[in-house]
Amino acid sequence: MSTIPATPAPAATFRDLLELTKPRLSFLSVLTTLVGYAAAKPGWHGREFAFLCVGTCACAGGVAAINQWMEADTDARMARTADRPLPAGRIAPGNAFVVGWGLCAFGLGCLFGQVNGLAAGFALATIVSYLALYTPAKRGSHWATEIGAVAGAFPPLIGWAAAEGGRVHVGVLGWILFGILLTWQIPHFMAVAWTYRHDYARVNFPMLTTRDPDGGRVARWSLINTVVVVALCLLPSFLGLATWGYAAVTALLGAWFLTRAVAFLRPVTRDAMARKLFLCSIAWLPLQLGALVIDRIYFIS
DSSP state of 298: H
* Residue 26 contacts residue 64 (beta carbons within 8 Å): yes
User: In whole angstroms, what is the distance from residue 260 CA to residue 282 CA?
Assistant: 12
Q: Whole-prediction pTM value?
A: 0.94
Residue 160, SS3 per DSSP: helix
Amino acid at 171: G
What pLDDT, on the 0 to 100 scale, is given for residue 164?
A: 86
What dihedral angle (degrees, nearest 10) is formed by the CA atoms of 208, 211, 213, 214?
-40
pLDDT tens-digit series, residues 18-72? 999 999 999 999 999 999 999 998 777 889 999 999 999 999 999 999 999 999 9
pLDDT band at 166 (very low <50, low <70, confident <90, very high): low
Q: What is the pLDDT of residues 234-282, one digit of tens each?
A: 999 999 999 999 999 999 999 999 999 999 999 999 999 999 999 999 9
Question: Residue 43: its pLDDT value, please?
Answer: 77
Nearest partner of 60 among 113, 18, 89, 11, judged by Cα: 18
pLDDT of residue 168: 75
Instruction: Quickly count: other Cβ atoms within 10 Å of residue 18's Cβ.
Output: 14
- Secondary-structure percent of the chain, ordered helix, strand, coil, rounded to 5: 75, 0, 25
Q: What are phi and psi of 20, to 5 degrees?
A: -60, -30
Give alpha helix (H) positions in 40-130: 46-70, 72-75, 93-114, 117-128
Q: What is the mean pLDDT of the chain?
A: 94
- Is the pLDDT assigned to residue 3 strictly greater than 60? no
In sign, the C-alpha dihedral spanning 161, 163, 168, 173 is negative
Inform me whether the pLDDT recorded for 4 exceeds 70.
Answer: no
Question: pLDDT band at 215, cuts 50/70/90?
Answer: very high
Q: How many other CB atoms sit within 10 Å of the CB of residue 266?
A: 12
DSSP-derived 3-state class of residue 157: helix
Q: How many CB atoms lie within 10 A of CB 177?
A: 28
Name the CATH code of domain 15-168 (choices 2.40.50.250, 3.40.50.970, 1.10.580.10, 1.10.357.140). 1.10.357.140
Residue 10's pLDDT is what? 63
**pLDDT reported for residue 130:** 98
Rounded alpha-carbon distances, angstroms, from residue 232 to 48, 108, 122, 181, 293:
29, 30, 21, 10, 15
pLDDT at 2: 47
Cα distance between residue 284 and residue 70, in whole Å: 31
Residue 227 pLDDT class (50, 70, 90 cuts):
very high
* Three-state DSSP state, 108: helix
State what percent of residues in the chain have pLDDT above 90: 91
